Amino acid sequence: MKALVVDDDRVLADVIAFTLRREGFEVILAHDGETAWRQWQAGEPNIVVLDVNLPGIDGFEVCRRIREQSDTPIILLTVRGEENDVVYGLDVGADDYVTKPFSPRQLVARARAVLRRVSQTAPQDAMQRAGGLSYDANRRELSTDDGKTHHLSPLEGRLIGYLMLNPNQILTIDTLIDHVWGPDGGDRDMLRQLIHRLRSKIEPDPAEPTYIETISGTGYGLNIPSESD
Amino acid sequence: MKALVVDDDRVLADVIAFTLRREGFEVILAHDGETAWRQWQAGEPNIVVLDVNLPGIDGFEVCRRIREQSDTPIILLTVRGEENDVVYGLDVGADDYVTKPFSPRQLVARARAVLRRVSQTAPQDAMQRAGGLSYDANRRELSTDDGKTHHLSPLEGRLIGYLMLNPNQILTIDTLIDHVWGPDGGDRDMLRQLIHRLRSKIEPDPAEPTYIETISGTGYGLNIPSESD
DNA sequence: CAGGGCCGTGACAGTTGTGTGACAAAAAAC
DNA sequence: GTTTTTTGTCACACAACTGTCACGGCCCTG
């Protein structure tokens, strides 16, 4: 499930992106109309979160162009009190809108509602695979290749989700902390503990980790036996 | 072609009525929820134009009641800026919405579009099936695969109906609250209680739920064993 | 060999989330 | 009007989740 987030306020855009990623979306960012339009053409996303006030091409115009080519759900971000924006936005084809300021949770709920409405099909198959592992982000259940499934806590889920997105790579400690706790949370102790808890659930022998490798002084990596590549 | 127009603003209602009559509709008027409901039961109209803000029973409730018994097309009239109303309105079964202020011509165009769309699709009965469960929304009775039928309360009915619409998926707490109570109602305690009551009716052993699964920190899901229908 | 990072591990407490029963308020049925 | 059903509120126990800390082992450097 791919989402395109467009807002010239980079901080806000990052917050939205973080929230959506945590909910299992793959997020592309853009900070102005032209970029947004190119990004949309490049990899057609499943949903667009679009600020109205943008440098260059404004949100309405982007919305109209997208609507000419596709039914991709579009959620507009408007400033409170600009009711005309909303009316106009829905007129040019937006599916829903959220007025700033809003809570990230609210936005996610809205996004899901729109996706549900537009595509009557199952909204999200948030299933990730990597080697013998498959992770269902909705249920937070991870299946190992020995057929067992383990229920993960929210943080464990975020961690394994990010690792499976970047298998066979070394991810630095700070990168991991950022992705699990966000910009202002988390320290090394917590990550160490989280890795420990995850290992104890998914490693056949936690003392000799198969999946999660430690690179001392740097970070961790998820080892996936390379199939015939 | 009979139309029921409901709006507490008598002037506006008259304008709409006039326009629709000019377009060949036979129009019945109502200015509050109770009257609307009675009028609808009296002579079942072909289409309903329904203001959201009504004295007494509000538009959502009228919409829901009508939807329980029939597929009659419903167009909601919402005030611009009340974006929640739109989302919730479509959720409880409205077919389309028009934001005030609007031009009568616009309303007529929408009405025709909806009528065209609805008449194409076959009417659906109010019976839902999912795995061993079957739910009759009219009688609000749910049958489990062990042959027992349980009478559900209105809220329980809405909850199970929504779960059965999205089986084998995890629905977030907020999504469920939105769907059962609407944009401004309901909190987590109430949902917890409702889940509890529903479980105690349909689960063979409420301590070990078969159907309704809990994902701590996220929400709930209806588990249906995938078998051949 | 000593000391200092770094890491794995276990234990523990604080916080939050969840299931459950009881009860009152409200609504609906009679 | 009364009675029954339905719904909201609250309290409490228990479970899940997370953060913190301490200890011991390993590797490296001096």
Q: How far apart are CA B190 and CA B180, in angstroms?
A: 10
Which residues, 6+ apart, have CB-to-CB distance to A195 below 8 Å? A159, A212, A214, A220
In whole angstroms, give the CA distance from residue A15 to residue A21: 10
Contacts of residue A87 in chain B, CB cutoff 8 Å? Answer: 80, 99
Polymer length in residues for chain A: 229
Amino acid A123: pLDDT: 42
Return the pLDDT at A84. Answer: 66
> Does the beta carbon of B83 lie under 8 angstroms from any beta carbon of chain A?
yes
Describe the crossing of helices A59-69 and A33-42 by its angle, rounded to 10 degrees: 20
With vertex at residue A119, the alpha carbon angle to CA A116 and CA A120, rounded to the nearest 5 degrees, is 75
Question: Are B218 and A122 an interchain contact pair (Cβ–Cβ within 8 Å)?
Answer: no
pLDDT of residue A47: 92
Judge: B172–A98 Cβ closer than 8 Å, yes or no.
Answer: no
Percent of the residues in chain B that have a pLDDT greater than 70, as a whole number = 90
Residues whose CB falls within 8 Å of the CB of residue B109, separated by 6 or more in sequence, listed in order: none
Half-sphere exposure of A38 (CA within 13 A, CB side): 6
Distance from CA of A187 to the nearest CA of B (A): 22
Predicted complex ipTM exceeds 0.85: no
Scanning A110-129 for CB atoms below 8 A from B yields 110, 112-113, 116-117, 122-124
Q: B57 CB near a chain A CB, below 8 Å?
A: no
CATH 3.40.50.2300 segments of chain A: 2-118
The CATH 1.10.10.10 portion of chain B extends over: 127-222
Interface mutation target, options B78, B79, B84, B87, chain A, most CBs of A under 10 Å: B87
Q: Return the residue matching tokens 């700070």.
A: A174
Amino acid at A126: A
CB contact, 8 Å: A139 with chain B?
yes
CA atom of B182 to C1′ atom of D3, Å: 30
For residue A30, count CB atoms less than 10 angstroms from its CB and return exposed for 0-12, middle for 13-18, buried for 19 or more.
buried
Q: Say if CB B77 and CB B51 are below 8 A apart.
A: yes
Across the range B9-35, mean pLDDT stands at 85
| Residue A154 CA, nucleotide C16 C1', distance (Å) | 13
Residue B228 confidence (pLDDT):
41
**Helix, strand, coil % in chain A, rounded to nearest 5:** 40, 20, 35
Six-digit token string for B149? 């039928």
Cα dihedral sign, A225-A214-A188-A173: negative
The residues near B28 (Cβ < 8 Å, ≥ 6 apart) are B2, B3, B4, B5, B39, B43, B45
Interface A-B, measured as beta-carbon pairs within 8 A, has a size of: 48
CATH T-level topology, domain A127-222: Arc Repressor Mutant, subunit A (1.10.10)
pLDDT at A119: 52
> Residue B191 and residue B24: Cα distance in Å, rounded?
46
Q: Which chain B residues have a beta carbon less than 8 Å from that of A98?
A: 83
Protein residue closest via CA to C1' of D15: B216
pLDDT at position A121, please?
38
Is the minimum distance from the CB of A216 to strand C below 7 Å?
A: yes
Average pLDDT over residues B32-53: 87
Count of CA atoms in the C-beta half-sphere (13 A) of B50: 35
Q: How far apart are alpha carbons A53 and A60 in whole angstroms?
A: 9
Q: What value does the mean pLDDT of chain B take?
A: 83
pLDDT at B124: 47
pLDDT of residue B80: 65
Owner of token pair 């109205």: A52
CA of B208 to C1' of D13 (A): 18
Residue B49, number of CB atoms within 10 A of its CB = 25
User: Which pair of tokens denotes residue A118?
Assistant: 């537009």
| Mean pLDDT value of segment B93-107 | 77
- Predicted pLDDT of residue A108: 81
A121: chain B residues, CB-CB within 8 Å: none
What is the pLDDT, as a whole number, of residue B79?
81
Higher per-residue pLDDT: A47 or B132: A47
Task: Check CB contact of B223 with chain A, cutoff 8 Å.
Answer: no
The tens-digit pLDDT sequence of chain A (229 residues) is 889 999 998 888 888 888 888 777 889 999 999 999 999 988 889 899 999 888 888 989 998 888 888 878 888 888 866 666 766 776 677 777 777 777 777 788 778 777 766 554 334 456 888 888 899 988 999 998 888 899 999 999 999 999 998 989 999 999 999 999 987 888 899 999 999 999 999 987 867 888 999 998 899 999 887 654 4
CATH pick for A2-118 out of 3.40.630.20, 1.10.3720.10, 3.30.420.40, 3.40.50.2300: 3.40.50.2300
Domain formed by B2-120, architecture: 3-Layer(aba) Sandwich (3.40)
Q: What is the torsion angle, in degrees rounded to the nearest 10, for the CA atoms of residue A175, residue A177, residue A179 and residue A183? A: -100
Closest partner CB to A138 (pick from B87, B169, B174): B169
A128-139 CB burial, b ≥16 within 10 A, e <16: bebbebbbbbbb
Distance measured from the CA of protein residue A171 to the C1' of nucleotide D19, in angstroms: 23
Domain with CATH 3.40.50.2300 in chain B: 2-120
Residue B185: which residues within 8 A CB-CB, separation 6 or more? B177
**Crossing angle for the helix pair B83-91 and A104-118, nearest 10 degrees?**
40
Contacts of B217 in chain A (CB under 8 A): 153-154
CA A77 to chain centre: 18
- Taking the mean position of all CA atoms in its chain, how far away is CA A218? 25
Query: pLDDT by residue (tens digit) across B163-192?
Result: 988 888 899 998 899 889 876 778 999 999
Interatomic CA distance for residues B209 and B155, integer angstroms? 20
Surface-to-core class of residue A4, CB atoms within 10 Å of its CB (0-12 exposed, 13-18 middle, 19+ buried): buried
Chain B residues with CB under 8 Å of A140 CB are 215, 218
pLDDT of A28 reads 92
Whether any strand C atom is under 7 angstroms from the Cβ of B199: the reply reads yes
* Res. B15: pLDDT tops 80: yes
CB A53 within 8 A of CB A67: no
